Amino acid sequence: MSAARTPFLALALAALVVLTAACGSDEPSSAPSDCTRADDGKPTLVARNLQWNTECLRVPAGKVTFTVENEDEGVKHDLEVYGSGIERTKTELEAGPATQTLDVDFPAAGGTFAYVCTIHAQMEGDLFVDAAPAS
């Protein structure tokens, strides 16, 4: 290898290490700072004007009870929560105004999941689950 290529390769390798570290991972710590927190494991999602009140939730691992408040009169909504490591689960489609709950058990390791209204694709969000504290 030529001496001229050695500094270039070293610089390229250093840049790759920095970029890899900056990208993070799917760990819950990568949740945006403006993500709505529900540290009590009881988040509320409000459906209004065919939108959720938040597109980002952060909850603890374990059993989480979602409350869905459908404020769209005569419009059906549901809540489906899905992702790797959990059973895909959802509420029934129900016309508003209505309130429903959905219990989901998240793994102790936490992770990144998603939620959506199955008939209104624009009503989706990211769900960040914090890992359970080590005991």
Give domain status of residue 36, yes or no: yes
pLDDT digit string (tens) for 90-129? 999 999 999 999 999 999 999 999 999 999 999 999 999 9
CA dist 122 → 80, 107, 119 (Å): 13, 27, 9
Give domain status of residue 115, yes or no: yes
DSSP-assigned states of every residue in 8-26 = HHHHHHHHHHHHHHHH--S
CATH number at residue 103: 2.60.40.420
pLDDT digit string (tens) for 39-89? 999 999 999 999 999 999 999 999 999 999 999 999 999 999 999 999 999
Number of domains in the chain: 1
pTM over 0.85, yes/no: no
Q: Domain residues for 91?
A: 26-130
Give domain status of residue 103, yes or no: yes
